[in-house]
Chains A and B, each alone.
Chain A
């Protein structure tokens, strides 16, 4: 079974703008794929539909066997707990330490302290920031902040990672670092979808590309 399935999905915003037009695609379990296209092509909208930040106008989105149309407003938090989100601007909370930032998804799930410590350390170790756990995000570089963001996304072991322009604010070298990190996470079995307009970076890697153009899926 695929982890992500889009079936004839249309998304028209309130203003009338057609962001996605009859998009059908799928991501296999354990697959990593890039979502590319110029800005305004509908990449962000597609990500928002998966994160249930937006709802489709028509069509069906099925994530890990769950038809998102059946997820009520009340059930959205529980659904989101199973998807790891990574943002262009990292979305870290600056009033708490790296450790507390990464621990947040586990705290939200109401896990006990002992488990939280163990899993946060493991996640920080994965992104190579274990020695920074007591620091505040503001003292870290952009690349390090994004690695904290990734650690936070994987700490609760989601079955799907969604990254929206994760390297958008980083220089090429740091971007390559982040991409290598995604590759490693994918090798441990995590399904990953990365939206990016960094074509050079994508071309250097051997993963599938899903390209959007003005809301249409471009056949490769």
Chain B
């Protein structure tokens, strides 16, 4: 009995060491493929570089659009914050009551600040701005109402701003409350369209990347037909033959993603001058943001994923067609 159990123990240990050995061989095979496929890419570097460049540009386009939309969104957000509501008071409301109302409105938690412009002040400002001073003097009576300029709190959503405008307009002494927001709504709609567009373009160009990688791998397989036949004759499994091609696909994707980052960087440099001018016109309140660490990571993951996918959908079909004769 003890002999038997010892024997069994030995067998298990042997089995384990064989498994460890084969795992080692498997890992070594993957490491070899990883480097070998890179070496193969570099040996035909002009063709590889062209493929990688095309992949890079295809990845850079949607990424660039994404960056633009992201920045415009932030810009639109800042413009939302600078929104002001003009509250036109009844013409016959005494100036004192108007001033009182402006103070009262501050009590509303949605309101950040108010500025009361009396009818006389309004007329003065208008005279200065329009140059119709003499003509207005001829009117004799001041036709302008008192106005309170209300700045909503920055954190207020556009819908809530709309509600505030409506509430202000319904007050007894208010003739009308208006918010010139149509252009901002249009801008938001355009940004929404751009954002959706960047997804559509991204999807289309992702498909393009998949096909580019697939086609490149297909040509690669065609060029190495004899080698693949020999390997099959020597007993190579499909997985073994597929492996270097899958790694090529991953390399194409990864290097393509790096090219895309480079393209985005170059675009930023090229557009930097005019951007700086634009930014300075906003008193530096507007800082242009790039992809960001997360965006870079996503771009690399997308490159790897698309490269791998392009390879997988090609390689199985192509390899099955090659059998030694």
Contact = CB atoms under 8 A, between A and B. Distances in A.
Interface of A: 51, 53, 77-83, 85, 91, 93, 95, 104-105, 107-113, 152
A107 B229 CA distance: 16
A125 to B, nearest CB: 21
Nearest to B20: A112
A127 B166 CA distance: 96
Contacts of A108: 231, 234-237, 240
Contacts of B231: 104, 108
A105 B231 CA distance: 8
B25 interface: yes
Contact of B233 (A82, A91, A95, A111): A91
Contacts of B26: 110
B315 to A, nearest CB: 16
A77 B25 contact: no
Interface of B: 21-22, 24-26, 28-29, 32, 226-227, 229-238, 240, 323-325
Contacts, number: 58
Given A108-B240, A111-B25, A112-B25, A51 B233 contact: yes
A84 B306 CA distance: 39
A82 B233 CA distance: 11
Contacts of A80: 232-235
B234 A112 contact: no
A49 to B, nearest CB: 13
Contacts of B29: 107, 110
B25 to A, nearest CB: 4
B235 A112 contact: no
Contacts of A78: 235, 237
A83 B25 CA distance: 21
Given A53-B324, A93-B227, A108-B240, A85 B25 contact: no
Given A81-B235, A105-B235, A112 B28 contact: yes
Contact of A85 (B226, B233, B325): B233
Nearest to B21: A112
Q: Which of A93, A105, A112 has the most CB of B within 10 A?
A: A112
Given A53-B325, A93-B227, A110 B22 contact: yes
B22 A77 contact: no
Given A93-B227, A93-B230, A110 B25 contact: yes
29 contacts: A51-B233, A53-B323, A53-B325, A77-B235, A77-B236, A77-B237, A77-B240, A78-B237, A80-B232, A80-B235, A81-B234, A82-B235, A91-B226, A91-B229, A91-B230, A91-B233, A104-B230, A104-B231, A105-B234, A107-B29, A108-B234, A108-B236, A108-B237, A109-B235, A110-B22, A110-B25, A110-B29, A112-B28, A152-B234
